[in-house]
Chain A
Amino acid sequence: MESLDPRINRLKSKAEWDEEIQKSAMDQFETYEVFIQIRENRPYEHVGIMHAPNEEMALIFGKEQYSRRYTCTGIFVVRTDHVKITAFSENEENIYEHMDLNGIQDGGESFEIFHLKKRGKQHIHVGKVEAGDYEGALSVSANLYNIGTPVYNVWVVKTSDILSIPPEDKMIWDTLPEKKFRDAMAYKAGDKIKEFKERNQK
Chain B
Amino acid sequence: MNVEALKDLLYKIADDQLILGHRNSEWTGLGPLLEEDIAFSSMAQDKVGQSYAFYQLLEQLGEQKPDTIAFHRSAENFKNCQLVELPNQEYDFSLIRHFLFDKAELLRFELLSQSSYEPLALLSKKLLGEVRYHVMHADAFIKQLGSATEESILRLQTSLNEALPYALGIFEPSDLEMDIINDGIFAGEEALKERWIETVFTTISKTELNLADIDSITPIYGGRRGIHTEHLQPLLNEMTEVLNLDPSAEW
Contact = CB atoms under 8 A, between A and B. Distances in A.
Contact of A10 (B36, B39, B87, B128): B87
Interface stretch (B26-34, B75-83, B211-219): B26-34
A28 B138 CA distance: 20
Nearest to B126: A176
Interface stretch (A62-70, A126-134, A144-152): A62-70
A120 interface: no
Nearest to B53: A176
Most buried by B among A29, A51, A174: A174
Contacts of B136: 60, 169, 172
B127 A176 contact: yes
Most buried by A among B35, B46, B49: B35
Contacts of A162: none
Interface string B134-145: 001100100010
A50 B129 contact: no
Q: Main SS of the interface on chain B?
A: helix
B72 interface: no
Contact of A57 (B26, B50, B87, B144): B144
B130 interface: yes
B35 A52 contact: yes
Interface in B53-69: 53
Contacts of A54: 144
A63 B134 CA distance: 11
Contact of B49 (A8, A52, A65, A179): A179
Nearest to B143: A56
B201 interface: no
Interface string B36-49: 10110010001001
Contacts of A174: 126, 128-130
Contact of B38 (A6, A64, A171): A64
A76 to B, nearest CB: 15
B225 interface: no
Contacts of B38: 61, 64-65, 68
Contacts of A61: 35-36, 38-39
Contact of B132 (A51, A53, A60, A171): A171
A169 B132 contact: yes
Interface of B: 26, 30, 33-36, 38-39, 42, 46, 49-50, 53, 87-88, 126-130, 132-133, 136-137, 140, 144, 238
28 contacts: A6-B238, A7-B30, A10-B88, A51-B33, A51-B34, A52-B35, A56-B144, A57-B35, A60-B136, A60-B140, A61-B35, A63-B133, A64-B38, A65-B38, A68-B38, A68-B42, A169-B132, A171-B128, A172-B129, A172-B130, A174-B128, A174-B129, A175-B46, A176-B126, A176-B127, A176-B130, A178-B49, A178-B53
Given A54-B144, A56-B140, 11 more contacts: A7-B30, A8-B30, A10-B88, A29-B33, A52-B35, A57-B140, A61-B38, A64-B39, A176-B49, A176-B53, A178-B49
